[in-house]
């Protein structure tokens, strides 16, 4: 299995925590997977024994597609446009029937990704719906039924048919706005079942758990200290929409007319944010922004009023609350 992602230096801490969350579950650090990262700027450091990396100019040069096709798009749109093509390039070096899995850099795995993929022995493609709250479904439908945070393709005829459709479509049109039934790279996922067989929709609560669907769900730990949502295992959390200052992190629930519960802050956000701070501290560089950070929502950053509202509603976590976790990653959050 090959895991693919991309990030720039502004999002490197999130990308590195993503990778760590994947590798931490593999026995003795020897994973039956490899990870390939598209580095979006020259400031990102390529390192890691199980990580392959390609810098953006090298990929564009080697890809064979005409860069003029996307030259009039914004930087964010250009990155969305070529992401699926990066997966298609990576698939060429895989064995038959091997999985190639795209993951957003702001995902955080809470169980082994190999365990997650093992559920789909008969599938060729795996996608997951947003599972928006009922009050948001109509408002957010224009951004897509499915979320492109994790998309998996089997390296066979059907899986590659869906991946090639995605890659070609994004090169043809991939703007960061809803238009004519399209939106960036995300709305195309709705057409996968039209171009390939074996497309599985994974709508379990513990998959693609995110600010837009967490809401009032009950979070607990099972007998093995693994996170569950409403009694179902949580495989990964999509930590989308987090904004930060030097001293605090503003969570991304309010745009979905929802709040992060105390259990969500304790069991998900605090360990995740502490991991970001540990990485930043170890690498002497604070990360603050990314092309990917404005993906998937269709909403703008919160203004001063919004941040004040977040503070009043308890949707802020301060660095001071993370100090013990930062120094001791095995410590239970308070």
Question: What's the rounded mean pLDDT across residues 85-105?
Answer: 96
pLDDT for 210:
98
Q: Which residues pair with 178 in a beta bridge?
A: none
pLDDT, tens digit, for every residue of 12-64? 999 999 999 999 887 555 556 899 999 999 888 766 656 889 999 899 888 87
Contact 146, 190 (CB under 8 A): yes
pLDDT for 312:
87
Confidence of residue 287 (pLDDT cuts 50, 70, 90): very low
Instruction: Confirm whether pTM is higher than 0.85.
Output: yes
Q: Are strands 232-233 and 2-7 parallel, antiparallel or unpaired?
A: unpaired
Q: Name the residue among 159, 145, 149, 164 with its Cα closest to residue 5.
A: 149
Q: Does domain 2-201 have CATH number 3.40.50.720?
A: no
**Joined tokens for residue 80:** 């969305």
Entry field: residues in the chain: 334
Query: What letters, b where the CB count within 10 A reaches 16 and e where it falls short, cover 185-221?
Result: bbbbbeebeebbebbbebebbbbbbbbbbbbebebee
Show me where the domains of the chain are located. Answer: 2-201, 242-327
pLDDT for 45:
76
pLDDT for 93:
94
Assess whether pLDDT exceeds 50 at residue 288: no
Instruction: For residue 86, give every residue at least 6 positions away whose Cβ sits within 8 Å of its Cβ, in sequence order, or none.
Output: 4, 6, 38, 54, 59
Question: What's the rounded mean pLDDT across residues 148-171?
Answer: 98
pLDDT for 91:
96
Assess whether pLDDT exceeds 70 at residue 318: yes
Q: Pick the residue with more confidence: 112 or 32?
A: 112
Question: What's the rounded mean pLDDT across residues 181-209?
Answer: 97
Assess whether pLDDT exceeds 80 at residue 66: no
How far is 80 from 171, CA to CA, in rounded Å? Answer: 9
Contact 250, 220 (CB under 8 A): no
How far is 254 from 81, CA to CA, in rounded Å? Answer: 29
């Amino acid at each position: 299995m090959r895991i693919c992602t991309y990030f720039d230096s502004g999002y490197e801490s999130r990308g590195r925590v993503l990778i760590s969350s994947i590798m931490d579950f593999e026995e003795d650090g020897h994973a039956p997977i490899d990870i390939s990262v598209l580095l979006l700027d020259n400031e990102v450091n390529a390192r890691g024994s199980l990580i392959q990396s390609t810098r953006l100019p090298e990929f564009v040069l080697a890809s064979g597609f005409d860069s003029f096709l996307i030259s009039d798009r914004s930087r964010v749109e250009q990155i969305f446009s070529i992401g699926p093509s990066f997966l298609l390039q990576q698939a060429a070096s895989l064995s038959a029937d091997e999985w190639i899995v795209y993951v957003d850099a702001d995902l955080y795995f809470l169980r082994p990704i190999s365990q997650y993929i093992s559920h789909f022995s008969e599938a060729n493609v795996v996608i997951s719906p947003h599972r928006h709250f009922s009050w948001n479904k109509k408002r957010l439908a224009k951004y897509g039924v499915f979320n492109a945070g994790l998309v998996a393709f089997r390296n066979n005829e059907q899986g590659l048919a869906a991946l090639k459709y995605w890659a070609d479509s994004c090169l043809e049109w991939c703007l960061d706005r809803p238009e004519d039934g399209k939106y960036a790279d995300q709305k195309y996922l709705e057409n996968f079942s039209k171009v390939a067989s074996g497309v599985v929709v994974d709508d379990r609560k513990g998959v693609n758990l995110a600010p837009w669907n967490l809401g009032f769900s009950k979070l607990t730990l099972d007998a093995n200290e693994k996170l569950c949502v409403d009694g179902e295992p949580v495989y990964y959390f999509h930590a989308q929409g987090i904004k930060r200052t030097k001293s605090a992190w503003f969570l991304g629930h309010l745009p979905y007319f929802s709040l992060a519960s105390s259990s969500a802050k304790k069991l998900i956000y605090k360990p995740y944010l502490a991991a970001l701070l540990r990485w930043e501290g170890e690498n002497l560089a604070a990360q603050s922004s990314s092309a990917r950070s404005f993906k998937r929502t269709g909403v703008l950053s919160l203004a001063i009023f919004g941040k004040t509202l977040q503070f009043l509603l308890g949707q802020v976590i301060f660095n001071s609350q993370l100090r013990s976790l930062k120094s001791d990653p095995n410590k239970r959050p308070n």
